[in-house]
Amino acid sequence: MPKVQTPDWVKDAVFYQIFPDRFAKSDKGLKPRNLEAWDSPPTPQGYKGGDLWGVLEHLDYLQDLGVTAIYFTPIFQSASNHRYHTLDYYQVDPLLGGNRAFYALRDEMHRRNMKLVLDGVFNHASRGIYYFNDILENGPHSAWLDWFTVNGWPLSPYDGSRPANYECWAGNYALPKWNTDNPQAREYLMGVAEHWLREGIDGWRLDVPFCITSPGFWNEFRQRVKAINPEAYIVGEVWWESMNYLEGDQFDAVMNYLFTEAVISFTCQQHLNYELVRDRPYNPYPPIDAPRYADRIDKLLGMYHWEITLAQLNLLDSHDTPRLLSIANGDRATVRLATLLLMTYPGAPSIFYGDEIGLPGGGDPDCRRTMTWDNRERWDMDALDYHKLLIRLRKANAVLRRGRYERLYAEGMVYAFGRQLGDDSVLVAVNVGDSQQTVQFPAKGLVPNDAQLTVAFGRGSACVEGGEISLTVPARDGVILA
């Protein structure tokens, strides 16, 4: 088994996920006239005109929030607002400002010591990519025929009433699947990954990597990525237990949806909107109490090598899920409790753009609303403040990033855990119930007897006497004690 080693910078990172069409729109570059109004509800196919220049103009905002790394959903040329329909892997979409905007953003981010991670869509392309379009034009005479998998003739790329006759992702005719068993197609995709690493990106988030089953594909991918930049981050979109990818020879981490579903189930309680999360690849329901939450966290912490755990991409929502505020039927306490757990858990926390200002959103495309830069009276300033405070505490205290994690108490609706690194220790507790609770539990050497515990975040109080911690936490609140 290979040595398990993950990028050191990820363990201290705070990620921010940006859906480029919806984050910020600059006055630069190509702006066609048929764009949707920025503040209008998002639609499946309409464009808002957000671009990378707009991201560049808001780096001060992101750094003030505490962000150290940005994960972008796809930025390459595509005939879709989400850009998972790749037309050209070597060209940044002109609506996003093209390659020129990318290089300007890359340079400024690196000047600020911020990391840049791109979305790698290597399982499928689009009907319009040159290689597949050649098949549509020339049929069985195409030179690129075996770069995809054709099952019969004629092909039907647009008429859904007829069989597509080619392999496509999830039955979507717009997304022909690469034949990654073909050495040439495989080499093409490896070359794309290598090219953008040489151009200065800091890692790849891999879209539906479990759909690529060609033997050795992801092993080779890792070898070639790490040969260019040993500290490049490789994180896969896998929604379930992922040990087969996380043994040191493929990915550094996955998007930690197992953490997501546990946190939502625990913090939402009766506020959870079942209709928004049913039939999704994760299961943040039914509501669970503190013992069940603690058991799930203990299982998750024991699932992977500690080096992997410290590099997991932890999140509460994303472009693929409804936003947590809407899942919780607008209950702001749920988001605050969940964010507290996110920012004190091992691994790299990731904020989906707008969550820090209370941006709501149901299922796709509603979860992909625009940032309201010109309408800040709609911002939840309390949410912005506690995001900043929690991030500041995490960045200022290595114990919250790299310290060991130990369950201290889990009864009823109260959960408490400790983080310890050398002589530094932190106690975190949350009460997801509707009444104030006072609980006692052994200190387990986390803090010395008669120590004074200082509230660093939230409301609550605690004292230590006779090796026991007595802790009081108000209803639907949490506390960090140092």
Domain count, the chain: 2
The CATH number that applies at residue 437 is 2.60.40.1180
In a domain, 461, yes or no: yes
Give φ, ψ of 194 to 5 degrees.
Answer: -65, -40
In whole angstroms, how far apart are CA 213 and each of 180, 185, 252, 297? Answer: 8, 14, 18, 30
How many helical (H) and strand (E) elements, i.e. helices and strands, does the chain have? Answer: 15, 18
pLDDT attached to residue 343: 98
Q: Does one domain contain both 382 and 443?
A: no
How do strand 233-236 and strand 253-254 relate by DSSP bridges? parallel
Distance, in Å, from the CA atom of 415 to the CA atom of 263, rounded to the nearest integer, reads: 12
pLDDT of amino acid 30: 87
Report the half-sphere exposure of 19 (CA within 13 A, side-chain side).
27
Alpha carbon 50 to chain centroid, angstroms: 20
Burial 217-236 (b: 16+ CB within 10 A, else e): bbeebbeebbeebeebbbbb
Asked whether residue 93 falls in the same domain as residue 116, the answer is: yes
Range of the domain at 446: 403-481
Structure tokens at 34: 């048929």
- Residue 230: is the preceding peptide bond cis (ω within 30°)? no
pLDDT tens per residue across span 380-408: 999 999 999 999 999 999 999 999 999 99
Q: Which of 21, 57, 93, 237 is catalytic?
A: 237
Count of C-beta atoms within a 10 Å radius of residue 187: 11
pLDDT at 17: 99
If asked whether residues 464 and 407 sit together in one domain, one would say: yes
CA distance 362 to 338: 18
Whether residue 342 is contained in a domain is answered as yes
- pLDDT at residue 271 in the model: 97
In a domain, 162, yes or no: no
CATH number at residue 203: 3.20.20.80
Last-in-domain residue among 396, 417, 444: 396
Kindly provide the b/e burial profile for residues 404-427, where b requires at least 16 CB atoms within 10 angstroms of the residue's own CB: ebbbbbbeebbbbbbbbeeeebbb
**206 and 228 both lie in a single domain:** yes
Per-residue tokens: 151: 């099952």
163 within a domain of the structure (yes/no): no
From CA 15, how far away is CA 358, in angstroms rounded?
17
The pLDDT value given to residue 429: 98
Looking at the fold, whether 356 and 438 belong to one and the same domain comes out as no
Q: What is the mean pLDDT of each run of 10 residues along the chain (482 residues)?
A: 91 98 95 96 97 98 98 98 98 98 98 98 98 98 98 97 97 98 98 98 98 98 98 98 96 98 98 94 95 98 98 98 98 98 98 98 97 94 98 98 97 97 95 97 82 90 89 97 92
On whether the CB atoms of residues 149 and 106 are closer than 8 A, the answer is no
**Measured distance CA(200)–CA(185) in Å, rounded:** 24
Q: What is the 3-state secondary structure (H, E, C) of 367-424?
A: HHCCCCCCCHHHCCHHHHHHHHHHHHHHHHCHHHHHCEEEEEEEECCEEEEEEEECCE
Question: Residue 1 has what pLDDT?
Answer: 64
Peptide linkage before 284 cis (omega within 30 of 0): no
Report pLDDT for 445: 81
Residue at which a domain ends, from 369, 396, 423 = 396
The letter for the amino acid at 424 is: D
User: Under DSSP, is residue 178 helix (H, G, I), strand (E, B) or coil?
Assistant: strand
Are 192 and 296 in a shared domain? Answer: yes
416 plus 347 within the same structural domain: no
DSSP state of 249: S
Q: Residue 135: inside a domain, yes or no?
A: no
Are 271 and 361 in a shared domain? yes
Element containing residue 120 per DSSP (H, E)? strand 115-120
Instruction: List residues bridging with 437 in a β-sheet.
Output: 473
b or e along 239-263 (b: 16 or more beta carbons within 10 Å of the residue's beta carbon)?
beebeebbebebbbbbbbbbbbbbb
Decide if 169 is inside a domain: no
Q: Within this chain, do residues 447 and 334 fall inside the same structural domain, yes or no?
A: no
Any domain includes 98: yes
343 lies in some domain:
yes
Cβ-contact 348, 13 below 8 angstroms = yes
Q: Write out the H or E segment, with its range, that includes residue 98.
A: helix 98-111
Residue with tokens 């290089």: 103
Express each pLDDT in 425-463 by its tens digit: 999 999 999 999 999 999 888 887 777 789 999 999 998
pLDDT at 451: 75
User: Domain end: 396, 427, 447, which one?
Assistant: 396
Catalytic site residue from 207, 252, 356, 380: 207
- Catalytic residue flag (residue 237): yes
Same domain, 420 and 364: no
Q: Are residues 357 and 412 in the same domain?
A: no
- Are 456 and 369 within one domain? no
Q: Report the pLDDT value the prediction gives residue 448, as an integer from 0 to 100.
A: 76
Question: d(Cα 158, Cα 407) in Å, to the nearest integer?
Answer: 54
